[in-house]
């Protein structure tokens, strides 16, 4: 019984920690499914977290904080999308620039958006608390685990299946995937590859913003420099690990989301795995996944979107 409690305790933490991660993974899945690879996730996450807290603190409205985060992240995504999709800039390069810009921006503004231009560090603003769902939260063990969480996680209970549904069972999803697999053919068939990609990246950005909001307003309320703990990078890796599937993304996020928090619990059971080693796992697992799916047997089914990372431009005017 004790082990069960310990495990469920670990899972609970994992879930909470995984929330922001999952939003970010989802956002990037949408972008990558359309064929665009965004290395600037961490920058977007940092900036949106920062602005979420700043907005919520000053307006004392949580809603405004979330909105600010979504807008900030979508805005940064739009810059990225504009540069890579319309200005044909290299995706890797632009992603890194976005990362630098985003982290610089969050650090800079974080030290200036406090009251009177002071830093945001140490301030206490409004925050989301856990909302136990009546009745369901009283189920032994599972209740506390799944139904005593914050609203962001509850939202994911709907968002993830909906994303999966849209991706695989709607025309929208089909078109998105087509553009990611073969932008040239899709565009010829009338799907407007560039526009689709742009919208996908910006929509993905919105999701990342929600992740940022969750960190700043629920998971670790407040602001410190670098508060995302590299979740943007982990998410990037986990998109691949989940083979671009929202359902499998859940697995990845839970497995690795609570890694750090996990460490203390593991020590308690007597498994002293160094934190650094635990944190390596998402990357190692992703690398292994990549090796597996790169073999021709897998490529045709659960593969990398064939057009990922390559820019597309309609071949000039049709003469």
CB of 301 to other proteins, least distance (A): 7
Nearer to other proteins, 36 or 37 (CB): 37
CB of 31 to other proteins, least distance (A): 15
User: Is the separation of the CB atoms in 240 and 294 below 8 Å?
Assistant: no
Judge residue 261's burial from the number of C-beta atoms within 10 Å of its C-beta, 0-12 exposed, 13-18 middle, 19 or more buried.
Answer: middle
Nearer to other proteins, 247 or 315 (CB): 315
Helix residue ranges, H only, the chain: 2-33, 41-59, 62-81, 91-110, 142-146, 151-169, 171-181, 183-188, 193-214, 231-241, 246-257, 259-269, 275-294, 296-299
User: Is the separation of the CB atoms in 12 and 145 below 8 Å?
Assistant: yes
Nearer to other proteins, 140 or 274 (CB): 274
Produce one character per residue of 49-81: b if its CB has 16 or more CB atoms within 10 Å, e if not.
bbbbbbbbbeeeebeebbbbbbbbbbbbbebbb
Nearer to other proteins, 31 or 98 (CB): 98
Nearer to other proteins, 153 or 208 (CB): 208
CB of 200 to other proteins, least distance (A): 13
Query: How far is CA 13 from its chain centroid?
Result: 18
Nearer to other proteins, 172 or 271 (CB): 172
CB of 132 to other proteins, least distance (A): 33
The candidate with the shortest Cα–Cα distance to 95, out of 204, 177, 192, is: 204
Q: How many CB atoms lie within 10 A of CB 302?
A: 13
User: Is the separation of the CB atoms in 42 and 314 below 8 Å?
Assistant: no
Nearer to other proteins, 128 or 252 (CB): 252
CB of 271 to other proteins, least distance (A): 15
CB of 299 to other proteins, least distance (A): 8
The candidate with the shortest Cα–Cα distance to 176, out of 32, 41, 78, is: 32
CB of 146 to other proteins, least distance (A): 28
């Amino acid at each position: 019984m004790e082990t069960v409690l310990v495990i469920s305790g670990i899972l609970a933490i994992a879930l909470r920690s995984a929330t922001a991660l999952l939003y970010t993974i989802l956002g990037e899945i949408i972008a990558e499914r359309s064929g665009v690879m965004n290395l600037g996730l961490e920058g977007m996450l940092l900036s949106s977290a920062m602005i979420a807290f700043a907005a919520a603190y000053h307006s004392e409205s949580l809603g405004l904080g979330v909105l600010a985060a979504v807008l900030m992240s979508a805005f940064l995504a739009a810059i990225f999308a504009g540069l890579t999709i319309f200005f044909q800039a290299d995706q890797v390069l632009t992603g890194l620039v976005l990362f630098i810009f985003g982290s610089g921006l969050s650090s800079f503004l974080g030290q200036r958006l406090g009251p009177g231009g002071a830093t945001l560090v140490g301030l206490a603003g409004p925050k989301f608390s856990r909302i136990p769902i009546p009745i369901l939260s009283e189920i032994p063990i599972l209740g506390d685990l799944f139904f005593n969480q914050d609203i962001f996680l509850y939202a994911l209970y709907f968002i993830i299946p909906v994303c999966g549904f849209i991706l695989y069972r709607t025309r929208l999803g089909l078109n998105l995937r087509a553009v990611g697999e073969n932008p040239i053919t899709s565009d010829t068939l009338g799907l407007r590859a560039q526009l689709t990609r742009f919208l996908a990246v910006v929509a993905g950005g919105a999701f990342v913003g929600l992740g940022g909001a969750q960190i700043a307003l629920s998971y670790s309320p407040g602001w410190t420099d670098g508060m995302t703990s590299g979740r943007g990078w982990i998410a990037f890796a986990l998109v691949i690990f989940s083979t671009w599937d929202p359902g499998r993304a859940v697995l990845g996020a839970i497995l690795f989301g609570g890694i750090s928090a996990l460490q203390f619990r593991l020590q308690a059971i007597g498994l002293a795995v160094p934190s650094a080693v635990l944190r390596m796992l998402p990357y190692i697992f992703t690398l292994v996944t990549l090796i597996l799916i790169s073999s021709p047997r897998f490529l045709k089914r659960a593969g990398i979107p064939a057009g990922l990372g390559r820019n597309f431009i309609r071949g000039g005017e049709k003469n």
